[in-house]
Amino acid sequence: MNPFVVGNWKMNLSLEEASTLAMDLRQGLEGVDGVEVGVCPPFVWLPGVCFVLMGTKIRVGAQNMHWEKKGAFTGEVSGPMLKDVGCTHVLLGHSERRHLFGETDSMINKKLKTALSLGLKVIFCLGERLEEREGGETFTVVERQFTAGLEGVGQEALPELTIAYEPVWAIGTGKNATPEQAQEVHGHLRNLLENKYGNETASQVRIQYGGSVTPENAGELLAQPDINGLLVGGASLKKDSFLKIVFTTQERMRSPI
């Protein structure tokens, strides 16, 4: 199982900046091996980025989608549109969607099922807020998000799924979870996967960590047994830092200790 490193550009970069970054990644990642890499640009930059990255191994994902395939949903974007434009992946349940835009577990579950039914691969994000961690509720919260988000999702869909553990208090704060804190939750998520889908299937699902990932902390996070990739926000907006994270991941896989 190759680790999966994804850059979530969020609502950043001009058209020119996005095109330049995509071209730089195309060139910079040409020889990369043993790591799967993806980027999630804003909706409007998807066609251009898909065009630049066509024929490369770099995956392109959207940051969100609606659960209906079409209709009167002003301002929304559907799964079939994402497929049309060339996306292979979609991020669902990101904490900014949950907490700034009121997305519920049940909305995320509907989106997840639609995306999987369309053949889009899903990066399913979950994670606790600071007050929940401080209140000792981390496991309860991620378990609720996991169970509700994956309700009705069968084992056959699991190869299309990546889980991203992103503690809300670590996102954009410069305060990443320690490798031990992250591993504790990743281990718990692996147990939840085992209980729901069996050991073999569970062992094949990649669980990414996200939240203030940098070139400096990527290696120690990836050294944990259940951290199988990274979901990178701020550090994915600059060619140098994102490439460094990918190359650190590649090195880590070649010499695991």
CA distance 142 to 166: 10
94 is catalytic: yes
Choose, by CB under 6 A, the member of 232, 243, 245, 246 that binds ligand 13P. 232
How many angstroms separate the CA atoms of 199 and 4, rounded? Answer: 20
Judged by CB under 6 A, does residue 128 bind ligand 13P?
no
Using Cβ positions, the residue closest to ligand 13P within the complex turns out to be: 233
By CB under 6 A, which span of 30-38, 73-81, 138-146, 228-236 interacts with ligand 13P?
A: 228-236
Among 103, 211, 242, 243, binds ligand 13P (CB under 6 A): 211
Which 7-46 residues touch ligand 13P, going by CB under 6 A? 8
The alpha carbons of the chain give a radius of gyration, in whole angstroms, of: 17
Contacts of 21 (CB under 8 A, 6+ apart): 13, 237, 239
Find, among 44, 54, 40, the residue nearest to 7 by Cα.
40
Nearest distance in Å: CB 127, ligand 13P: 9
Report yes or no: 154 and 129 within 8 Å, Cβ to Cβ. no
**Residues binding ligand 13P: number (CB under 6 A):** 14
Kindly list the distances between the CA atom of residue 105 and the CA atoms of 111, 141, 143, 154, 185, in Å, as whole numbers in the listed order: 10, 11, 11, 17, 19
Residue 114 neighbours by CB under 8 Å, 6+ apart: 65, 67, 68, 69, 79
**Restricting to residues 35-94, which ones interact with ligand 13P according to CB under 6 A?**
94
Show the binding pattern over residues 159-198: x = contacts ligand 13P (CB under 6 A), - = does not. -------x----xx--------------------------
| CB closer to ligand 13P out of 71 and 174 | 174
Specify whether 166 is catalytic: yes
Question: Which member of 94, 96, 128, 186 is catalytic?
Answer: 94
Known catalytic residues?
Answer: 94, 166
Residues that bind ligand 13P (CB under 6 A): 8, 94, 166, 171-172, 210-213, 231-235
